Each structure stands twice: as structure tokens, then as C-alpha cells.
Amino acid sequence: MNKLLYLGLIFLVLLFSACSTRGQRVYSSQSYSPAKSYSSDRSHHSSQMDKKTYSHPTMRPYVIRGIRYYPTVVSVGDRFEGRASWYGPKFHGKHTSNGEIYNMYDMTAAHKTLPMNTIVKVTNKTNGKSIVVRINDRGPFVDNRIIDLSKTGASKIDMIAAGTAPVSLEILGFETKGKKKIPSKKELKQLPQKEIVSEFALQIASFSKIEGALKMQEMHDKTDGYRTIIKDVESDRGRLFKVWLKGFKSEEEARDYKAQGHFKNAFIVRED
């Protein structure tokens, strides 16, 4: 093979290699890093000791049968009402949503949105009987049901035969030490009284005059269940009135809502 033919072949290989990559785009993971903004207005800030970022996968929004669920945060003493059901042999020995093995004889339960390891008092409203269970699974995915009890839990409040029962729920505490048991009353008092995530919000607008911010706040307050606040801050450009949409329970929820495009140029902010 002569030198000219050899060089020609090399040129063709390089040409086709270039063509094969044309139009491709490489995305760095840094392109998706969330922007963060910290307001100088401390009036809305809570003590750093009362907050923590809850980034566990079980607190991320998830979709079941086309419905998106947003794991939420609660405090000791919060109460809820609904209808309870129970699940047993079909799921016994299988993994729960937090990675444990489901044991229908343990005092556990499934809930759509409560943090994992939340300790809940469940009272059967038809007979007044109560139990204490630990949340370690997700469900029940039926509109009119609030909690899915283990077989033993359901048996203790006499709802096995009926299958379901009207109940009230009371948040007693949060087991965060990784122990697969129900803490005693003394232990519960020593555990965190709140399960709180850092507050995420969307900044939807910024104004140099309060009138514009007030109008924006009034227009979008209670949008999709979220609330608006105005942040009065000093910046290099002078005084600014920032309008934030708040009420997101996690960064993932705020990202998901932002992606829906309701507010042009909105970005995620977080309070420390």
C-alpha cells in the first residue's frame, strides 16, 4: 500500500468518526445542581437545632396507579382520621418499602405519606380499642383508607373479621435509632418530637417595590395548596421584595412542581 493511499484511508476514518458524533450533546451532572438562595431576613428562620434535611429515599415523592404521593412531615400530637385495613399472609416475608422484611405478627403498619419509623397510636372508633404501631411500609393505595395494619395489630383492635374499621391516628413519636420495636413512653420522650425537613420554596418573583410583591402574593396565594410569603431583603441592588411559594415537604417535591412550568424563571430556594 503506497503512502498516499494510506493517508487517504486515515482521512476517511477521521471524517466518518466526526460525522458519527455530530449533533450529540454531553450533559454534566453539574448542569442539574439546584440553585440555592439564603435570605438575610431571619424573621422566618427557625433554630438550626430544630431542622435537618431528610433525604432518605422513602421521603421522595412516588407514583402508584397514576397518583403522585408526597411523603410529609408531622409532629408529636398530630391527629388524623380515616379508615383502616390490614394485610397479612400474601405479603408475609416480603420486603416492605423501607427494606425490612414484613412480619404480619409484628406491630407495624403501612401509610402513604408518614415518615418511616413514625410511632402511631391507632384507635378503633367502633369499640375504643387502641394499639401502637410503627410505620415501615407504604400503602394502602385505596382512596378511603388511611392505614394498613399488620395482622396482629388488626387482631388486637378486633377488626380482622370486618376487614376495615374507622380509626383515629395520633403521632406519638419517631424511632430514629434503627431499632425494629415500639419504644416505651420514656424512650419516646427522649426521641425527636418533630420530623422536619429544611424548608424548600420556589422564588417566583422579585420586586423593587412592595406593591408589586403584594399583588403577586395575593394572586398566587393558596396555588395548588401552597402559600406565598414576601421576603424583604437588602441586596447589592438595594432593597428587594422576593415572593416565595412555600409548603413543599421536600426538595424533590419542589423540583417536581417547578418542572411543571407554572412560573417562568422560578427557582428553588431553601431556608436554613
Count, residues in the chain: 272
User: Domain total for the chain?
Assistant: 2
Same domain, yes or no, for 78 and 153?
A: yes
Q: Percent helix, strand and coil across the chain, each rounded to 5?
A: 25, 30, 45
Same domain, yes or no, for 106 and 154?
A: yes
Mean pLDDT in residue range 233-251? 80
With beta carbons less than 8 A apart as the criterion, state whether 153 and 110 touch: no
**Is residue 67 assigned to a domain?**
yes
CATH number for the domain spanning 134: value is: 2.40.40.10
pLDDT band at 165 (very low <50, low <70, confident <90, very high): very high
CATH number for the domain spanning 207: value is: 3.30.70.1070
83-115 pLDDT, tens digit per residue, is: 999 999 999 999 998 888 999 999 999 999 888
Same domain, yes or no, for 183 and 206?
A: no
**Is residue 30 assigned to a domain?**
no
- Report percent pLDDT > 90 for the chain: 32
**Parent domain of 147:** 63-190
As given in the structure block, the three cell numbers for residue 11 are 482521512
Report which of 62, 78, 60 is spatially closest to residue 118, judged by C-alpha positions: 78
With beta carbons less than 8 A apart as the criterion, state whether 173 and 193 touch: yes
**Is residue 2 assigned to a domain?**
no
Same domain, yes or no, for 239 and 256?
A: yes
Higher pLDDT, 193 or 128: 128
* Final residue before a domain boundary, out of 157, 175, 190: 190
**Is residue 238 assigned to a domain?**
yes
What is the torsional sign of CA 101, 119, 147, 52? negative
Residue matched to cell numbers 385495613 = 85
